[in-house]
Structure 1
């Protein structure tokens, strides 16, 4: 059988295949209240119908101030739980597992409040985080994880990539602090360490972390730094590193099919932790090559699932892997 369609067990959750819908912001909240809309249900449920093993919903803000845009989904209030729970119910109805990416945009937030950041660079208009603000942020991640558990998500991913707040703390480019949360890589990791511990204390399913494993700048973290961070995450009980790149600095990136797979492969073997590969992976044979050559453990599909909700079905046909059709579609999938 094609490895792409083999079940994959991670901690206490078994995915029916190794295809993950990568988190992609939809900016589709109607009233800027962070609440799930009918669009979100249709969008995610259709990919579950299409055969994806793990549906990871978009970056979901742990506080209103931390939204990338005001039309982001939110999890900063108990009001959000009902909509998110309905969403997981519809995902689970089709045999898929549900994941949520918890995030805070930091200085990249676009709301009517002043953005927060670990440091102020140049002429940025940001509120530099105090120790009490950091403590509050850690608690917000913890409370968000409780809400994610109540909404029946199987997996939580912490968003520490793409230049958002946790990434801002990790990077020496954006973290110029001189306290316990800035300086060498050990101190820059401190906030991630605290967030992971807080989330683990209330959520007992698999935990992923998305990182940007190349900052495309000479002053940024090196691969040795990312291996160190990944080793620390493994020691803390993180089950998988979702390996992306970029976002800390605004610079052109040479993108091509699998352009981030090398980073996932390096971290997988050097840090000895499962990884997810993402980045213009559209061809099922390419996905199969990544898995069979032990370059990553899960395949995260992004834009291709926006174009083709039934990519998993097409991939199974191309790889000669029979998958179970949703009952209403059996006549067409036979």
Structure 2
């Protein structure tokens, strides 16, 4: 019986049922890259389903039988795709399986920033009543710029349109966009957006796309939402922009280094609404991503 290595501690029962003809090996809750290499050498899996940690050339070389690396989600930046291509190993992703979950998280962060939900909640619990002094941001009529118009970005665009926002987006690969999304260049995103939400993969070309220079070109009082990858944002530049008021608030679900360590400069800082990269972590998405990842494995193995 051939092995499938899962770089996590579990997989949805529906996904396990699809893999019933394979031995499924779990790497545990917080596997390191070295753990993945060791397990690949021990079990020689035909497939790796990636939940946590990275899968690089060393893990691929440790498993001569490896045919496919399947992401339990949509972002494949933790997989060395160049190394996989050189070894004839397919890299596949569960595209769209968590689109609803992540788009909803982006909307939650946008609303939390615009309506000062977290700050007002803390004030209320402390016994204050700020009705006479507080004013929230009304999103209707304002412009939101989306960078990335894949399954998640387009789902979020529909939500923003329903709020009465003007939706503009940049994605060089997007086609057949709905009428309520205006395709624009990046300069227009920076110049015209009242809020920006990131929905693109992390690549070498767009690392730190949001930096001091791009933030300076934005409208003062910008809201920034990131449910994609932390590496898209220069965190020190964002911290400075929030402190100066150039960015009114940032709703972040992903960070340059995860998990976030104690003492991170965003912690305790006004203007930041933070969540621990759980945009795609819902009961429904857990099943959808697991099933899609398993199906992708089986599809590749059937062709091998």
TM-score normalized with structure 1 length: 0.28
Kindly name which structure, 1 or 2, has the bigger radius of gyration based on alpha carbons.
Answer: 2
| Greater RCO structure (CA 8 Å; 6+ sep) | 2
TM-score normalized with structure 2 length: 0.30
